[in-house]
Structure 1
């Protein structure tokens, strides 16, 4: 007979026999082999996704005690000797890797199938979800910059140590570089075949365009557009993005909660793809420079358009600083209370309003009952209504 998982309220202090059994397993775990796993007892949840109930405030988890490498002595020793900077750089690397890999993979599917599979909406969501996953997975370790302009902004606006910035930026560039090479390794045959076909047809320039194989990795200017228009598209798009990102870092913003920030930032990038990509937009120096060097490894110097490369790599930095400055000096205020205090204040105000409303209603109902009685009427229905409130 199978046992169903049992949940108990967090304020239930009753200690069952199963609890004592689990506690006994914990105490004796070190005496066992590091890979010795306690036996699951009735009522316990199995190891896996169920472990997230540990963070729930309304239930007390009962999950079988973990063992293996994740709970081994080796891991504790490794945590002691692992440099903190190493974890931060690995997180910044993979943060950029997540969204570049996801976005370029979606772009490759679209370009190499000539639009038969995928579309701009799919690409936008790929970048959005890639960034969301990057924040969820990597931000707790490094702070989640994933963007050289944001790293520099953290130094200027929030006092992030300047000595750490170069390492962060190099890790970000490396993340985009490796992600691009991985996408190329997956689609190598198709990308080279498309390159050969376009070259043989005398359309070599199309290889290095948004619709070409090199354009899957690196961003290239849209044909026929003036550089001034491309600059405006990049600058204003990046300013828009910076405003959204910085708002999600504002502890005073009552509309921001930790669980919503990753998706909000991800959707902002999706909007950029949907609304600005036709005019050529990069948004991130790491995504541009890292991917462009990966492109250069494969196709050579043609991946570096003389009039566009500097614009693509650098425009997002002043644009981001402008957006962040607008938010800092005009849209936020040092006198605002932190969001948690503000929300509690709002809660108290709502309670006061509710109390006033109910009190007023009771007073008016009492006066109505008095008038009915004074006129010799039957106020029993009104009195019943009051008793039910």
Structure 2
């Protein structure tokens, strides 16, 4: 005998009430949105004339700037408040959350323009595993370093008075080297470790954090991953950054070559003493280990967790159809295998509208119309 609460309309395989509610259609009055007027002619002329690579570099620089500026700002707040005895202002949790929010904003604001690398290791990984043009790699890394350098200088400038006061007090007390340890003001800008720390464990900690980040980010970006919508990717990536920072930064956490090297250059400009800003062995670990970790993590995800035979999600197809400049498409030319491929020719730029990438009526692969610019 059927219970009163059973629903005869429910079909096998239907999602149950709960999170499935977000998929329900809502009825209500239509909402009218005023249409935007077309862009002014001067802007269209400017848009046609600007170099595409320059735009991407600006996006990479600004995204890395946001990441460094937001995270280091919170670190300075925490350090200065602690130095002044204000223990209720800031914490390691607030620093981790600031980096999380900063990378989220960077991805939302800039990823649609440049791809949202903000990290030399990911630029290299995208080139090796995803076909990112090799000719763009050095330009992207330069832009990332520049953004980190400027972001670090801005934080130093905004906290100049407090950082200078604390640094002068330590130097006057004969504790110059302490400035560049976790107990000193430079630790809010650059990655530091306590003198005498076992560098083997520092290397292992840095490698593991970046191995996990590489595997997780490539898993999030996998277009066959049914558990995440493309628009939710920035949020989950930000959560992953929050996890590694809050869990392992006490052991030293450079995480990002651009953030580490850019901040060290800014610290050298402000404090001087390059031998203390760039301690030889630790600097090599902090700058290079994250590249190795990300590459191994990304390779692990590609080799063991991804599968080109899985169907690409509808959300991923929609994102690809409207991707910036149409440089990605879906290749179904091999029966049973669906791949995301780069379609932008080397050496020239492509202008493609979202409507120019459409599914063929006979169910064939996605096609695009191209116009050289």
TM-align CA RMSD: 2.2
Question: Contact (CA 8 Å) 2:223, 2:316: kept in 1 or not?
Answer: no
Give CA deviations for 1:63-96 in whole Å, capped at 9, x if unaligned. Answer: 44546xx932211111111111111000000111
- 1:262 shift after superposition: 0.5
Aligned match of 1:337 in 272, 288, 311?
Answer: 311
1:96 paired to 2:64: yes
- Segments of 5+ residues of structure 2 without an aligned counterpart are 1-25, 318-373
Give CA deviations for 1:99-121 in whole Å, capped at 9, x if unaligned. Answer: 11000000000001114410011
Aligned to 2:81: 113
Quickly say closer, same or farther: Cα 1:198–1:137, change in 2 above 3 A. same
Q: Distance in 2 between matches of 1:157 and 1:237?
A: 20
Q: TM-score, normalised by structure 1?
A: 0.70
Aligned match of 1:151 in 123, 129, 139?
Answer: 123
Question: Contact (CA 8 Å) 1:246, 1:324: kept in 2 or not?
Answer: yes
Quickly say closer, same or farther: Cα 1:263–1:58, change in 2 above 3 A. farther
Aligned to 2:292: 318
Q: Distance in 2 between matches of 1:147 and 1:299?
A: 25
Q: TM-score, normalised by structure 2?
A: 0.73
Aligned to 1:230: 202
Q: Distance in 1 between matches of 2:208 and 2:222?
A: 22
1:306 paired to 2:280: yes
Give CA deviations for 1:10-47 in whole Å, capped at 9, x if unaligned. Answer: xxxxxxxxxxxxxxxxxxxxxxxxxxxxxxxxxxxxxx
Q: Distance in 1 between matches of 2:91 and 2:257?
A: 25
Aligned to 1:79: 47
Secondary structure (helix, strand or coil) at the match of 2:193 reads coil
Q: Distance in 1 between matches of 2:243 and 2:197?
A: 21
Quickly say closer, same or farther: Cα 1:71–1:174, change in 2 above 3 A. same
Give CA deviations for 1:355-378 in whole Å, capped at 9, x if unaligned. Answer: xxxxxxxxxxxxxxxxxxxxxxxx
Aligned to 2:181: 209
Relative to its length, the structure with more helix (as a share) is 1
Quickly say closer, same or farther: Cα 1:321–1:210, change in 2 above 3 A. same
Query: Aligned pairs, how many?
Result: 286
Question: Contact (CA 8 Å) 1:243, 1:323: kept in 2 or not?
Answer: yes
Q: Please say which structure displays the higher CA radius of gyration.
A: 1
Q: Distance in 1 between matches of 2:27 and 2:258?
A: 39
Quickly say closer, same or farther: Cα 1:82–1:243, change in 2 above 3 A. same
- 1:322 shift after superposition: 0.7
Quickly say closer, same or farther: Cα 1:58–1:181, change in 2 above 3 A. farther
Q: Distance in 2 between matches of 1:59 and 1:223?
A: 66
1:200 paired to 2:172: yes
Q: Distance in 2 between matches of 1:307 and 1:60?
A: 64
Quickly say closer, same or farther: Cα 1:140–1:213, change in 2 above 3 A. same
